[in-house]
Structure 1
Amino acid sequence: MDKVVNKIAALPPGEPYHSLEFFPPKTSMGFQNLQARLERMARALRPLFVNVTWGAGGSTATKSLQLAEICQRQLGLTTVLHLTCTNTSQTVLDETLETAKEIGIRNILALRGDPPRSDDYHNTPCDGTSNGAGKEFGYVIDLVRYIREKYGDYFCIGVAAYPEGHVEGASPEKQDPLFDLSFLVEKVKAGADFIMTQLFYDADKYIWFEKLLREEPSGVLSELPVVPGLMPIQSYSMLKRITKLSGASLPAYILRRLDDVKGDDEAVKRVGIDIVSEVIEKIKAANLSGPRGFHFYTLNLEKAVSFIVERTNLIPPLHESVLEEIEGPDMNGAALRRDRRTSSVTSDPHNREGALGREATWDDYPNGRFGDARSPAFGEIDGYGPSLHLSQAQAIKLWSYPVTKQDVSDIFVQHIKGELEAIPWSEQGLSVESKVIADHLAKLNQKGFWTVASQPAINGVNSTDETFGWGPKGGFVFQKAFVEFFCSTEDWEVLKARLERVEDVSYYAANKAGDYVASVPPGGSAMHAVTWGVFPGKEIITPTIIEEVSFKAWKEEAFSIWKEWARVYPPTSASSKLLMETAETYYLVNIIHHGYMDPEFLWKLLET
């Protein structure tokens, strides 16, 4: 399969293109369903290439390679495999590059990954050996040079760029594309072949940025392919979080349009399709030099991106020569003949099937790990695995140097009270609805139950309620109270004995070693809908689900974040030892109270 830069160069003059990005799902069911989704999207949308993400520190190495092989070999898609260098061993990188060659992958997107941690860790051989063997990859330029030195021009290498500046650029207070420019030039000189940008929603800032690259004095960026990255808007809360993490700004006129519909997820998606489509059309109208392509961070979701690429005429025509090559006795001729058409404008995504047909789904109300574990989009919203998303300096500024269990409790309590903007398990402050139970959460954290997720009980609140409402107007929403926290083994044993005497409570608990216990009611299942809504003309919708498979998948990540936090400090320090010991000895516990008409029951049970 050809290199990305060759495919771009071979496009007919003026023909736009698009590419799609996917991450390996966290559950086997999600993986199976993603494969079916990929087949639909490959057939109907015909991307020029696809990207497969790589988890922090190589955490998804096996699954990423498995997904890349499906894309490359089974679906015949030109595949770009992400590789992150920081905190990833040379052994893993070498094995990955060799496997990529065996699969037939010719394209690598070289990324830094997690921010570098302490000097003590950097002085440790990255392949885990004790004899000093192994190469350090502290920055992307190191990885680009290494691939070029070892593989020559076999791989086509892409690197990232930031239209509004890197979040860790010129200073903690300011992102500055001009400050980043020299680093991008050096990455290209080291051997990069194309550039893919961080997501953005301000078309004017992107247009200015690409002109900046083309006019850079050295000239090395003047004709290099630059692919702008866009993320379809799936929900209001997801958009706010992802823009905070990425440093992407939201123009006031865009934010106003979304604020008007933020309580209605369907309306947010509909407006989001309009917004991203308008960004694309504005960039196309700017007549920037070179072939015009767009990269979509799909988050494994299909409907929104399909309507965007169809509306903006990014689906290439299926030429007769291509049709003859792929049409065969095992293919659905009717489906292929339907796809011969060029793109058609889809003015109302809720009243038309779009390019993907009736099989495509909206993945209603994507809600991270509390969504349906069967969904290909289940899990963390960025698709890159567990990470602090902070540099060492930022982490220490937030959390200082905890050396006792009380220090950890104080950090969690400060976050609950709004005195800390983040904890390792949450990059944001408490949600509006969680503030309703903030006093209860503070009490739990003070006693050493360190909470990472929760919600209050509500009974039949109007769907337009400013705090709890969601979905279309005229509906009513309900919630069961639940809370998830870390606690010591001793505290868990005491609590477990109490929970077993309560009829309308369910729980899941597990430690890092793999000890697991859950309460399953007689004749029941280990799946619980904890948020649901009833709306005119619709079946009951259950956007928030807690189930065994999702808890087990999340458990692995939840404990790995303790390790990520520990890496902030020197490995022999009291802080590192405390956090690593906690990861090894504590339990992760999730408790659900089914009696949603009694909003205080769960908190009284846990506080006494």
Structure 2
Amino acid sequence: MTKITEKIKAVEGKFVSFEFFPPKTDAGFKNLLARLNRMKELNPLFITVTWGAGGSTNEKSLELASICQKNLGITTVLHLTCTNTNKEIIDNALRLAKKFGIRNILALRGDPPRSEEYWTPNCDFQSSIDLIKYIRGEYDDYFCIGVAGYPEGHVDGSDTSNQNPKNDIPFLVEKIKAGGDFIITQLFYDVDKFLYYNDLLQQQPELKDVLLIPGLMPINTFNTFHKVSKLSHASIPDSIMAKMETFKSNDDDVKAYGIEVLNNIINVIHEKAPNVKGIHFYTINLERVVASIIESSPILSNQPVFESDNEDVEVESHQFTRRKSSVEGSERPIVSNSPKALIDISKGKGLLGKDANWDDFPNGRFGDSNSPAYGEIDGYGPSLKLDSPEKAIEFWGEPNSTLELAQVFINYLSDRIPQLPWVDTPLSIETTIIQEQLFELNLRGWFSTASQPATNACPSNDNVFGWGPSNGIVYQKAFIELFVPKKDWDNKIKPSLKYEFDNKIMTYFIGDKNGYIGSNLDENHSKTAVTWGVFPSKEVLQPTLIDLDSFKAWNEEAFLLWLEWARCYKKASKSYTFLNFIYDNYYLVSLIHHDFTQEEAMWESLLNVE
């Protein structure tokens, strides 16, 4: 049970460390344990485990952290966010962390509530400084405490005009004076801005000797790369973005170039920032690209070997009941600290590597629900992905009727606004093919959050439907996800589509705010690929999947986003009341039409419902 500052002081050469988040599904959690066993062979000095906003993932985070520390013997850093979090949650987390032998905490502020009326009761923390002081007051120096650094400046709210790392220095000094021991930075892609930030810290007497660990996020897909940079306010050099745009629909090329980009950043840091002793990777629970970066880096590939941090710690039975908190017999032997293991994982070959790339092409909530990386890219829980209530009102107005709400969805489908609470990515060009049908469905009060048209054997370089390597053929089934009034589903949609549902021409999942889930599919045969491609010298790729487990996980989050949206308005206001009415009285419905040769069939069936 070692403090990471002590481990780092003893390091010769560069170390690596990894961040993980608790997976959304039980299958994803189980598969993450196998992945952690493999990634342990990449020899991280430590790992960090994220903590959801307001403590929303606290049980899963503590469970994952305890397994990593106790069972896997990996030095583990538990994230803690404190604003809008009950003091009891923080006390419980610190108590259990000590019980599990965790001696390292990353103390973060987290997102503040939208206004005073939404503050969580018994919340004594306004900032990470308050949390650091509290930990020191309760536990003295038992915990080694890390803090966040922002190479491009912290952004609070939607105003980026004052984003400047110089403005953050006084607050960073206060965090260190309060008891912070090391700094992990927000992710960045512009290495010059990190070097400038490092120089700023070196000029401050209180900061120049503090361990600074740069945080980098590997590039797995263009969409993830673009979304991450937007959410973190990380600038992308024009040269990188221009090159990435030329092959953004080919995930293989994106990955290969992303490895090159990150290795260039690592090389520059090594050359120009000798005080930096390691690199922290935001893995988003994926392994192959991380392994490829390490394996191809002359700086990282010859890391020192670190001993296990698995001292005997007496851990009593605790409250986690969703699954056994143990790593039960790995199916494959692990060859400790083998250079070949690193190569196998990075190449997707050999004993370890063949399991390293099955979810190599994540697709957010439409990816494989068995993947540890399934779902949102950050693992921090439901969020509007906006900086302020004012921005929400700017985008979505103050709807208080079905027609006004329908107009919000139509504005998104018309490219008049950039996002909805359930989707924060630009519209795909293929949506224009079904745009008129989507307009009509939304005007009925059936609010669409995701959809795609069908296509049959389209060339992979097609300007509308194309994706993946050249000389391939791609297919997709029509699907749509809607919020519909419960009475409309029960009295109109389900009776009208009885033939399609009974014969599995169309399949559905429905859910509500209480966690009720319904379907016309058997639970054990619910997985459907709605997008797939056939390419030379490759297995069939299925990047877009819909199944029962993924729908269950998304259903819970999707309804919570209605509440997040409602909290942008004053309590008891018309908009607040109306959005809560939708939350209470609607189903989330996911529909798939399985005859992809009949491109209009889905839309004709839905629009014929009376």
| Fold match by TM threshold 0.5 | yes
- For the 8 Å contact 1:527–1:546, the answer to whether it is kept is yes
Q: What's 2:223 paired with?
A: 237
**Greater mean deviation of Cα atoms: 571-580 or 246-255:** 571-580
- For the 8 Å contact 1:52–1:81, the answer to whether it is kept is yes
CA displacement at 1:101 relative to structure 2: 1.1
Q: Give CA-to-partner distance per residue, 1:287-346, whole Å, 9 cap, x none.
A: 342x421110101101100111222242555659889x99xxx99999547x355998x7
- For the 8 Å contact 1:55–1:384, the answer to whether it is kept is yes
CA displacement at 1:84 relative to structure 2: 1.6
Q: Give the one of 305, 330, 337 matched to 2:290.
A: 305
Q: Does the C-alpha gap of structure 1 residues 321 and 427 become closer, same or farther in structure 2, counting only changes over 3 Å?
A: closer
Q: Give the one of 239, 244, 248 matched to 1:253.
A: 239
- For the 8 Å contact 1:49–1:80, the answer to whether it is kept is yes
CA displacement at 1:549 relative to structure 2: 1.1
CA distance in 2, matches of 1:406, 1:331: 55
| AA at the equivalent of 1:254 | I
- Structure 1 unpaired stretches of 5+: 128-133
Q: What's 1:549 paired with?
A: 549
SS class of match (2:91): helix
Matched, 1:178 2:166: yes
- For the 8 Å contact 2:448–2:482, the answer to whether it is kept is yes
Q: What's 1:445 paired with?
A: 442
CA displacement at 1:60 relative to structure 2: 1.3
CA displacement at 1:118 relative to structure 2: 1.1
CA displacement at 1:32 relative to structure 2: 0.9
CA distance in 2, matches of 1:353, 1:520: 35
CA distance in 2, matches of 1:364, 1:332: 20
SS class of match (2:482): strand
Q: Give the one of 257, 263, 266 matched to 1:280.
A: 266
Q: Give the one of 141, 150, 174 matched to 1:153.
A: 141
Q: What's 2:8 paired with?
A: 8
CA distance in 2, matches of 1:30, 1:320: 27
Matched, 1:221 2:207: yes
Matched, 1:139 2:127: yes
**Greater mean deviation of Cα atoms: 178-187 or 244-253:** 178-187
Give the alignment's TM-score, normalised by structure 1: 0.90
| Superposition pairs of residues 517-596 of structure 1, within 5 angstroms | 517-520=518-521, 525-596=525-596
- For the 8 Å contact 1:296–1:305, the answer to whether it is kept is yes
Q: What's 1:130 paired with?
A: none
CA displacement at 1:174 relative to structure 2: 5.3
Q: What's 1:131 paired with?
A: none
- For the 8 Å contact 2:48–2:79, the answer to whether it is kept is yes
CA distance in 1, matches of 2:432, 2:167: 39
Spell out structure 1 runs of 4+ moving beyond 6 A: 320-323, 330-334
Q: What's 1:50 paired with?
A: 47
CA distance in 2, matches of 1:138, 1:417: 40
Give the alignment's TM-score, normalised by structure 2: 0.90
Q: Does the C-alpha gap of structure 1 residues 454 and 585 become closer, same or farther in structure 2, counting only changes over 3 Å?
A: same
CA distance in 1, matches of 2:399, 2:196: 44
Q: What's 2:98 paired with?
A: 101
| Superposition pairs of residues 72-471 of structure 1, within 5 angstroms | 72-122=69-119, 126-127=120-121, 134-168=122-156, 171-173=159-161, 175-216=163-204, 219-289=205-275, 291-312=276-297, 313-315=299-301, 317=303, 336=335, 339=337, 350=347, 353=349, 357-361=353-357, 363-390=359-386, 391-471=388-468
CA distance in 1, matches of 2:331, 2:457: 47
SS class of match (1:557): helix
SS class of match (1:501): helix
CA displacement at 1:403 relative to structure 2: 2.6
- Structure 2 unpaired stretches of 5+: 313-328
- For the 8 Å contact 2:291–2:346, the answer to whether it is kept is no
**Greater mean deviation of Cα atoms: 307-316 or 556-565:** 307-316
| AA at the equivalent of 2:597 | M
CA distance in 2, matches of 1:400, 1:115: 22
- For the 8 Å contact 2:346–2:353, the answer to whether it is kept is no
**Greater mean deviation of Cα atoms: 485-494 or 406-415:** 406-415
Q: Does the C-alpha gap of structure 1 residues 63 and 118 become closer, same or farther in structure 2, counting only changes over 3 Å?
A: same
SS class of match (2:225): helix
| AA at the equivalent of 1:455 | Q
CA distance in 2, matches of 1:137, 1:70: 28
Identity %: 46
Q: Does the C-alpha gap of structure 1 residues 604 and 340 become closer, same or farther in structure 2, counting only changes over 3 Å?
A: closer
Q: Does the C-alpha gap of structure 1 residues 317 and 279 become closer, same or farther in structure 2, counting only changes over 3 Å?
A: closer
CA RMSD of aligned residues (A): 2.8
Q: What's 2:507 paired with?
A: 506
Q: Does the C-alpha gap of structure 1 residues 410 and 173 become closer, same or farther in structure 2, counting only changes over 3 Å?
A: farther
Q: Give CA-to-partner distance per residue, 1:265-300, whole Å, 9 cap, x none.
A: 1121122111111111111111342x4211101011
| AA at the equivalent of 1:565 | W
Q: What's 2:17 paired with?
A: 19
Q: Give the one of 483, 486, 489 matched to 1:492.
A: 489
Q: Give CA-to-partner distance per residue, 1:215-243, whole Å, 9 cap, x none.
A: 13xx2211111111111110111111111
CA displacement at 1:64 relative to structure 2: 0.9
**Greater mean deviation of Cα atoms: 26-35 or 186-195:** 186-195
Q: Give CA-to-partner distance per residue, 1:350-385, whole Å, 9 cap, x none.
A: 5x7499544422523210111111111111122212
CA distance in 2, matches of 1:525, 1:348: 30
| AA at the equivalent of 1:538 | K
- For the 8 Å contact 2:73–2:308, the answer to whether it is kept is no
Matched, 1:474 2:471: yes
- For the 8 Å contact 1:17–1:315, the answer to whether it is kept is no
Q: Give CA-to-partner distance per residue, 1:29-73, whole Å, 9 cap, x none.
A: 11111101101111x111011011112222211111111011000
- For the 8 Å contact 1:169–1:175, the answer to whether it is kept is no
| AA at the equivalent of 2:605 | L
Q: Does the C-alpha gap of structure 1 residues 545 and 341 become closer, same or farther in structure 2, counting only changes over 3 Å?
A: closer
